[in-house]
Amino acid sequence: MEYNYKEIEQKWQARWAAEKTFRVKEDSSKPKYYVLDMFPYPSGAGLHVGHPLGYIASDIYSRYKRLKGFNVLHPMGYDAFGLPAEQYAIQTGQHPAKTTRNNINRYRSQMDRIGFSYDWNREVRTCSPGYYKWTQWAFLKMFGHWYNNESSKAEPVEKLVAIFEKEGNANVNAACTEGPVFSAEEWKAFSEKEKSDALMRYRIAYQGETSVNWCPKLGTVLANDEVKEGLSVRGGFPVEQKKMKQWQLRVSAYAQRLLDDLEGLDWTESLKDMQRNWIGRSQGAEMIFKVGNWDVKIFTTRADTVFGVTFMVLAPESEWVERLTTPECKAAVDEYIAQTKKKTERERISETKKVTGVFTGSYGTNPFTGEKVPVWVSDYVLSGYGTGAIMAVPAHDSRDWAFAKRFNLPIIPLIEGCDVSESSFDAKEGTMINSGFLTGMSVKEAIPAAIDEVERRGIGKRKINYRLRDAIFSRQRYWGEPFPIYYKDGIPSPVDEKDLPVTLPSISSFLPTENGEPPLARAKDWTYNGYPLETSTMPGFAGSSAYYLRYMGPHNSYGLVSREANEYWRNVDLYIGGTEHATGHLIYSRFWNKFLYDLGYVCEIEPFRKLINQGMIQGRSNFVYRIKNTNTFVSYGLKDQYDTTEIHVNVNIVNADRLDLEAFRNWMPEYRNAEFILENGEYICGWAVEKMSKSMFNVVNPDNICDSYGADTLRLYEMFLGPLEASKPWDTKGIDGVHRFLRKFWRMFFNNDELCLSDGKPSAAELKVLHKLIKKVGDDIENFSFNTSVSAFMIALNELQTLKCNNREVLEQFTILLAPFTPHICEELWSLLGHEESISGARFPEYNEEYTKENTFEYPVSFNGKMRFKIELPKNVDAATAQKAVLENSLSAKWLEGRSVKKIIVVPGKIINVVC
């Protein structure tokens, strides 16, 4: 009987679906385990072989955990709102809902072919109203809460109102937007609008004027993590800074908790580092500099360098600029600010080295020296960080140094022996000089001493700043969750919870309106109780922030997640996905979870206990070389003899870098009559590792691999390719070896087309092979070292083959071990072995050390210290010979001399353990 993967895979995929093999329910009799994949955005291009890498790993782990007796929650869904579908809609007029549905169907059929063990009954789609109801619900909760720094948690706005009514806002310690202080009387006298505005500064979901990343090409604002190097991540369009009133989430309120709780997570250090850097905690001080009659607050982490301040700088957007600019300087300052406004983010970055700035005409007073220092404006100071104003210490800050050089401002060195003629001395080390009472201290002592003095004099205080900004939550787009907010006389008001979801209306065109409003403004009757509804929609990360909770009970209509389900499944035990979400989704999701935790809706402070980043599978492109102005192509090895152009060629008509000439001629009409210059009768293509993309003709579709090798081979091969976390190019060179292994495994069960197994007791040799494998595979899966476990299977199979093993028990256990990797073939063999139930209900074999023990013996020697070394010994060596061998042959004989060894443990041909 031949290994017919096509038949086997179709058969078992159909059976799993029909028998709902992977459906799970809460079951308190079993320990739970929650394995989650980062759900995909269903793009029009479909899945390529890179996408399933993480899914295969998580599937193996899920199947393994089931064999280990766990109740495994392993769901899948779609992150279905987003820009590409809408851009496509603008181009083609097709409704994004329709293209999204088509793409999802395509994804689903591609995933089904690979044989994943998802509980599809729990599928979620972020764009379905039943799902986004809960995204809107969470938003309303955030709108209805504020962050109390005293209790370090979110509390209802009603409580805040009660405080305002009693004593105003002077003593409220909240994470909030700066604004005026008011008394209880003033609060009571406020108009509705004023009250709304005051509360808005406290809400966790709030509307506020802020400088945003505006992408004119996409017609929308973007969050910081959606912009890379001044270009939009989606589309790569330029982004500029613009002040706009936008919905925002007060993520910054949670900065410290997001930082602290990283400690308890089983994530890689590098990923935690990325989050730490993104949160960017820095400890320093706020200090007041008098400028005329004004108190200008600056933030610094180097209070110790205050004696070296030679000027001050304001951000162009700072509110101080207008007040501090003298009439004589006004024209120049206005001109400078107009120029910076025109620059895009990209230009600002690319011009990093160009130092620009302008003098305001005002002078500030150094609070320590009393000296007057000029106040400048420059775009190297950011309005969004600290106070938007700095004290400049050119001797010890490279940016200040560059600025001082450019504008000829004095540079005063403050650290003994430092040379600031060519560059600043930024390191926090050395002994202070020229620094009044700080002189003679080390920098490490001086920093806190300076801050203490600042606090003692009442000219400032300790302050911790975070780089993490509040998340901008509005998008001026159609294909996203509508906000459950309407405007009553201009006051943003929440839609009643019972009226959720606010469903996305159908509209005629997906473009902004003539007067620049978002597409939702085109919707007829976009109102709530007669009042206009918000016209922007939520960003992509809204729907992905709490989806892992919804999987716990996606059909319940009374809550995001039921208490019972949440208390059973708790949080994600294993999360697999790409690093690209390190500073986006993984921050937002943690924030969202913590907020819901504060409100008592979820029982764990962190959503994802363990996280693995699978590497990217890159494309391996192939090239042909056309001799210029001809239709002749020259093989890679001979191309240097001609003047050629390198052309990408479809990798699907290239096999092991050999071009299929006929297929090439048929590939495109222009190559119909192509001529070739071959080497050794073959056309060899050049190659390069690049991103997998359509335009480079290097996309490999998993369907093709399933056709020609089968899903089991694809699964096994993707794991065999290398460590899960490593990025690697897709290369089918080794796939035959993996396929060969499966065929060999299949043949172990048969003799002349007949199932042929012996029922006797396994031999000692067979048991040794089997139990070594049980140990190795179990350990490897636990450590996500799937590539080495595939090798272990190959080695074990070779050994069993050498032993001519056809023992039923041994092969049955081997099948169970292999089942998580290649479930189809294992199900088939399992059923041929007479089992009626799916192999997923089997138990992972128990490892028995007895079977794998080496021939070990111990005997006393004398020696101090403890060490191990290796030595070659003949088989069946006796103790005396062994000792002699150790002393004579070992590289360590010299070292052993004169020491007293107590005991040496010998394994023939292997390790000898020497104990003191």
- Return the sign of the alpha-carbon dihedral for residues 647, 650, 656, 658: negative
Nearer to RNA, 30 or 733 (CB): 733
Beta-bridged to residue 899, according to DSSP, are none
- CA distance linking residue 70 with residue 840, whole number of Å: 11
Q: How far is the CB of 76 from RNA (least distance, A)?
A: 25
The span from the CA of 260 to the CA of 801, in Å, is 54
Q: Would you say 86 or 317 has its CB closer to RNA?
A: 317
C-alpha of 652 from chain center: 31
C-beta of 722: minimal distance to RNA in Å? 3
**Across the strands, what pairs with 153?**
148
Task: Yes or no: say if 632 and 676 are a contact pair by the CB < 8 Å rule.
Answer: yes
For residues 520 and 481, give the distance between their C-alpha atoms in angstroms, rounded to a whole number.
11
Residue 798 or 862: the one with the smaller Cβ distance to RNA is 798
Whole-number minimum distance, CB 442 to RNA, in Å? 18
> Which of 793-829 are b and which e, b meaning 16 or more Cβ less than 10 Å from the residue's Cβ?
bbebbebbeebebbbbbbbbbbbbbbbbbbbbbbbbb
The answer to whether the beta carbons of residues 49 and 708 sit under 8 Å apart is no
* Distance of alpha carbon 244 from alpha carbon 220, whole angstroms: 11
Question: 96 vs 729, which CB is nearer to RNA?
Answer: 729
Cα(501)–Cα(129) distance, integer angstroms: 6
Name which of 556 and 791 has its Cβ closer to RNA.
791
Comparison of 468 and 495: residue with beta carbon closer to RNA: 468
C-alpha pair distances (Å), 107 with each of 9, 51, 706: 18, 10, 15
Phi then psi for residue 552, to 5 deg, are: -65, -20
Q: Which residue in this structure is represented by tokens 């925002």?
A: 248
Residues with Cβ within 8 Å of 52's Cβ and at least 6 positions away in sequence, in order, are 111, 114, 702, 714, 718
Nearer to RNA, 117 or 892 (CB): 892
Q: Which two tokens stand for residue 486?
A: 């309407």
Smallest gap from residue 720 Cβ to RNA (A)? 7
Choice between 240 and 481, CB closer to RNA: 240
Report the nearest approach of RNA to the CB of residue 443 (Å).
13
Min separation Cβ 283 and RNA, Å: 9
Task: Kindly state the smallest distance separating residue 576's Cβ from RNA, in Å.
Answer: 17
**Closer to RNA at the Cβ: 282 or 369?**
282
Closer residue to RNA, CB minimum distance, 143 or 214: 214
User: How distant, in Å, are the alpha carbons of 60, 864, 907 from that of 882?
Assistant: 44, 19, 9
In this complex, which beta carbon is closest to RNA, that of residue 154 or of residue 719?
719
In sequence order, the 6+-apart residues with CB closer than 8 A to the CB of 510 are 86, 89, 90, 96, 478, 479, 519
Question: How far apart (Å, rounded) are the C-alpha atoms in residues 785 and 721?
Answer: 11
CB of 480 to RNA, least distance (A): 22
Name the residue nearer to RNA (CB basis): 54 or 388. 388
Whether omega for the bond prior to residue 860 falls within 30 degrees of 0, making it cis, is: no
What's the closest the beta carbon of residue 468 comes to RNA, in angstroms? Answer: 8
Taking the least distance from each CB to RNA, the nearer of 46 and 384 is 384
Token pair, residue 735, equals 């796939």
> Looking at beta carbons only, is 65 or 302 nearer to RNA?
302
Token output for 819: 């089942």
- Report, in angstroms and rounded to the nearest whole number, the Rg of the chain calculated over CA atoms: 34
Alpha carbon separation from 201 to 142, 169, 176, 196 (Å, rounded): 13, 11, 6, 9
Q: How far is the CB of 787 from RNA (least distance, A)?
A: 5
Closest approach of Cβ 175 to RNA, in Å?
Answer: 17
Identity of the residue, 94 or 268, whose beta carbon is nearer to RNA in the bound complex: 268
User: Taking the complex as a whole, how short is the minimal distance between the CB of residue 432 and RNA, in angstroms?
Assistant: 16
Q: How far is the CB of 463 from RNA (least distance, A)?
A: 10
Please identify, using beta-carbon distances, which residue of 174 and 738 lies nearer to RNA.
738
Minimum distance, C-beta of residue 847 to RNA, in the bound complex (Å): 16
Please name which of 634, 556, 546, 562 lies closest in space to residue 596, comparing C-alpha atoms.
546
Taking the C-alpha atoms of residue 226 and residue 540, their distance in angstroms, rounded to an integer, is 10
DSSP result, 634-695: E-GGGGGGS-EEEEEE-GGGEETTEE-HHHHHHHSGGGTT-EEE-BTTB-BPEEEEE---GG
Q: Kind of pairing, strands 608-613 and 572-577?
A: parallel
Judge whether 905 and 915 are in contact, CB under 8 Å: yes
Nearer residue to RNA within complex by CB, 162 or 911: 911
Structure tokens at 212: 């945003």
Q: Could you tell me which residues come within 8 angstroms of residue 109 by beta carbon, excluding any fewer than 6 positions away?
A: none
Find residue 206's DSSP bridge partners: 248
CB of 426 to RNA, least distance (A): 8
In angstroms, what CA-CA distances link 609 with 36, 37, 119, 576? 11, 13, 21, 11
Which is closer to RNA, CB of 11 or CB of 772? 772
Minimum separation from the CB atom of position 404 to RNA (A): 13
Residue 677 C-beta: closest distance to RNA, Å: 21
The strand pair at 572-577 and 32-37 is best described as parallel
Which of 401, 338, 341, 407 shows the shortest CA–CA distance to 374? 407
Structure tokens belonging to residue 240 = 């500029």
CB of 909 to RNA, least distance (A): 5
